[in-house]
Structure 1
Amino acid sequence: MPVYQYGATMIEWQFQKRPELKRHYVTVERNRPVLLRGPAVSEQEQQKLIRYRARWIKLKLEEVNQPVKDEFVTGSRLLYRGKSWYCQVEPALELKKPIISFNHSKFFIQSPEGRSLSKKALREARDVFFRQKAKDKLIPRIRHWQRQTGLEAVATRLHRFPRRWASCAEQNILEFHPRCMEFSPAVLDYVIVHELCHTVEKSHNQAFWKLVALHYPDWERCHAEVERLGVEV
């Protein structure tokens, strides 16, 4: 991997060819090489681009790689819709609680704690963000799969389970953990179909899995992803 020395700072970078981009972009993340994206250029041209942004890169490296204990800082990442996204923490001392927003390429976190955020405050803010996104994206998908499968739930709720993603009660009320929004759209669809199938078969018997396979043939791959992620208490 190429390296450019700027004063006492060693800038290691990785080039990602993106022909659809009209210019080159530099991304600096915690504990990762600098990422240079854009149209194909020689390594010599890459070095010129890095050299041109070297002062800014040095400052960003110092910011994102600052020592932290139990805090969330710029350069940390959050999982959303199946991808891990870069986070930018901005001081907002006038706020009582942090606010998380997403602009389709990274997270912006307004922090009343300054340039960092405690893990507890992050969890609470993330829960608010995921609950809103679940209303925007999860609920419409439930309606879609009810029409698609013909399986009907009495009601749908959001609930922060300690150790599970979702549930179907005896009364056919579906409940989903807000962190289901961490799943990719395909895996989220599987979770929805899984719970809808429980409106017919309450246990994980052979008939249940046949019903799941009927409505969602790719269920095994998605089920493995659900088990891999788990749920934190």
Structure 2
Amino acid sequence: MEISGIDIKIIKSKRKTSSIYIERDGSVSARVPETLSDNEIVDLLKAKEYQIFKHLAEWQELNENAVEREYVSGQSFLYLGRNYRLKYDEVESGKLYFKRNTFYLNPTDQPKAKDLFVKFYKQKLNQKLPKIVKSYQEQLGVYPNAIKVMELQNRWASCTPNANVNFHWKCAMAPIDVLHYIVVHELVHLIHPNHSKAFWNEVDKILPKYDEQIYWLKLNGAGMDL
């Protein structure tokens, strides 16, 4: 649906409220109750037109931090909130190594460097996430059926109706406190499947300074890419 020259993806569900999101790639989506007619959706979007343009302007400003990375020696890559440089050396091929605050690849692996970085991030998250999830599930009284690391396009994480919690492999680039926030955010969604006041109150009980982690993601999210 197009409003004032902006293409907006409409997602209907059984929710009672409407929310508009600027996705990480700059696209706009609106999640609305399935009971709304097309005319009612148009009226809703027009009423929020100023808000949409404002958030798009903020997205453009924040995305000035986007980084075009090349897989050459000296290029820096994020891991747990810090940048570390890549160096090509005579290490075993087929694997990305991280030691002495440096990433190492065999020169023959340069064509598949991105795939090896993705594999590295997935492995590290799969090692760290179960412990972090366990530390919060007792407090919240929720127990996800499965924890998965995958490609999630424009989401840092998501949870499914059958209580699976999924995390984008890029989360391994975030500082550990931000990773904790992402985990808590998704676990609370197992209680409140929305972003209502009750949802944020529950997050606040666990992480009183969660707004600092949200700000870090807004400021640095565009740079969390390969």
Scaled to the shorter chain, the TM-score interval is: 0.5 to 0.7
8 A contact 1:74–1:88 mirrored in 2: yes
Map 1:62-101 → 2, pairs under 5 A: 71-90=70-89, 95=93, 98-101=94-97
Map 1:43-62 → 2, pairs under 5 A: none
Structure 1 residue 91: Cα displacement:
5.4
8 A contact 1:91–1:112 mirrored in 2: no
8 A contact 1:133–1:181 mirrored in 2: yes
The partner residue of 1:200 within 171, 183, 191 is 191
In 2, Cα distance between equivalents of 1:145 and 1:111: 42
Equivalence for 2:208: 217
In 1, Cα distance between equivalents of 2:98 and 2:80: 12
- Provide TM-score, normalisation by structure 2: 0.63
Pick which of 167-176 and 193-202 moved more. 167-176
Structure 1 residue 135: Cα displacement:
1.8
Structure 2: segments with no counterpart, 5+ residues? 1-67
- Provide TM-score, normalisation by structure 1: 0.61
Structure 1 residue 71: Cα displacement:
4.1
Larger relative helix fraction: 2
Aligned CA distance change for structure 1 residues 174 and 108 (closer, same or farther; 3 Å): same
Which one has more relative contact order, counting CA pairs under 8 Å at least 6 apart?
2
In 1, Cα distance between equivalents of 2:100 and 2:190: 35
| Higher Cα Rg, which structure | 1
8 A contact 1:99–1:111 mirrored in 2: no
The partner residue of 1:108 within 89, 104, 107 is 104
- The one-letter code sitting in structure 1 at the alignment partner of 2:168 is H
Structure 1: segments with no counterpart, 5+ residues? 1-68
8 A contact 2:69–2:75 mirrored in 1: no
Question: Alpha-carbon deviations, 1:170-191, whole Å to 9, x = none?
Answer: 1221000111110111000000
The partner residue of 1:178 within 169, 172, 176 is 169
- What percentage of residue pairs aligned between the two structures are identical? 25
Question: Alpha-carbon deviations, 1:159-216, whole Å to 9, x = none?
Answer: 2111111001112210001111101110000000000000001111111111111111
In 2, Cα distance between equivalents of 1:71 and 1:193: 33
Question: Alpha-carbon deviations, 1:67-88, whole Å to 9, x = none?
Answer: xx98411111110011001221
Q: CA RMSD in A?
A: 2.3
Q: Alignment length, in residue pairs? A: 157
